[in-house]
Amino acid sequence: MESNRKTLITPLLLFAAASCLWGLYAGLYDPSFNNYLSQVHNIDEVARGALEFPRELPGFLCAFIFSLFMFLADTRIAALMSLLLALSLWGQGFLAPNMSMVVLWMLMWSTGAHVYMVVKSSIALRLADKGREGKLMGDLGALEALGLLLGMTLVYFGVSYANFSFPVIFGLAGTFTFIAALLLYGIKAERVSKAKPKLLLKRKYGLFYLINMIFGARKQVFLTFAPWVLIKIFHCGVESFALLGIIATLIGLVFRPLLGRAIDAWGERKVLSIDAILVTSLCILYAFAQDIFSDSIALIIIMSCFVADQVLFAITMARVTYLNRIVDSSADLAPSISMGITLDHGVSMTVPFLGGLLWAGLGYQAVFIAAGILGLLSLVVARFIPPSEPQEEQGKPDGRVSDIHS
C-alpha cells in the first residue's frame, strides 16, 4: 500500500499541485492589493507610485539574490521562496499597522515571487520527459491559470456575499503558498549543475534592451495607475477587480495560442507594432473617457481597457522570440533575457513615482497622456525590428522561448 502511494505521489504531481496553489494565491492577492492600500492605509497617488520602488527592487536585483541561494537544489529554493511568500502575506494581513511594515512585508513578498519565477521553469524542464518539455510547461501554465481563476472566483464571492476582510484574503493566500512550500519540500532534492546567473550587454541586442525598457515603463503605468483610477475615481472594490481578472484570464486562454500563431505568421515587427497602436488607443480612452462620456459609460470603457491591457501583457513573448531570432548563439539567450529583465525593473522602480507626481500636479489624465506618448515611441522602435525570415533561411533550429514574466 505504501509503495503504491509513493508511486502515485510523484515529483511531477507535487510540483503540479504547487503550481496550482501559486495560481490560487495570485487569484486572491492580485485583485485585492491596490484596494488594501487605498482602504486600509489611505495612501495617495504619490505614495502609491513611490511604493513601486521597494516592490520592484528585488526584481532588479534578482540575479544577485538568486546567486545567494545557489548552494541549494532548485526545489529547495522554490520551497523556501514559497515559505517566504507565505510569511509576507500573513504579515501583511495581520502585522502591518503602518506603512513601514507594509514596505517590509512587500520586500519579502517581492523577493519570494521573483526568485520563484527564476527556478520554476528549470524545475519543470528537469521533470519533463525528453521531447515533451513544451507540453509540460503548457500543462503547468494551464494548472496555474485554473488556480488563478479559482482564487479570483473565491475573492469575488467571498467579498460579495461573505464580507471577506483583507486579513482573511491575505491569510488564505499565505496558507496556499505555505502548502505549496510543503509540497515542494516533499520533492527529493537533486543536485543539478547551475551556471552562475549572468547579465550580458551587447550592442547588437540594443533594440531588445530598449524594447524592454519601454515595456517596463508602460507596464508600471498600467499596473500601478490603471487600478488606481478605478479605485479613486470610480470607487471600484475588490470584487470588481476579481471579476475583471476572471474575464481577462478567460480571454487570455484563447488569446495566447492565437498570439503565438500570429508571431509565427506575421513576425515580431508587426505584432509589436499592433500592440503599440492598441496600447496608445487604451491610453487615450483612459485619459479622456470621463470627459467625453457619462460616468457610467466611462466606467464601462475604462473597465474594458483594464481587461484589454491585462490580455495584451501576453505580447511580452514577442520580445523574447525576437531576441531568440537574432542571438549569436544560444549561450547568449539567458543572460540577455536577464539583462532585459534588469533594465525593465530598473525603469519600473522610477516611473511610478514620476507618474504619482504627475497625477498630483496635473490629474490622472496627464499620466495616461504620457503613457500614450510612450506607446507612440514603442511603435517607432518596433518599426526598427527587421522583418522575420522563413525558419529554414535563418539556418538555426527553433529554440523559441514561449513566455517570460517579469
Using CA atoms, how far apart are residues 96 and 284, in angstroms rounded to an integer? 37
Tell me: the pLDDT tens digits for 187-213? 887 765 555 556 778 889 899 999 999
Residue 241 near residue 227, CB atoms below 8 Å: yes
Extract the C-alpha cell encoding 252: 487570455
Residue 34 near residue 231, CB atoms below 8 Å: yes
| 7: DSSP letter | H
Q: What is the pTM of this model?
A: 0.86
Work out the end-to-end distance of the chain between its first and last CA atoms, rounded to an integer number of angstroms: 44
pLDDT value at residue 406: 41
Q: Which domains does the chain have, with CATH numbers?
A: 1-197 (1.20.1250.20), 198-401 (1.20.1250.20)
- In 72-151, DSSP assigns E strands to none
Tell me: the pLDDT tens digits for 76-135? 999 999 999 999 999 999 999 999 999 999 999 999 998 898 788 778 877 877 766 667
Supply angle C-alpha 61, 328, 120, rounded to 5.
Answer: 40
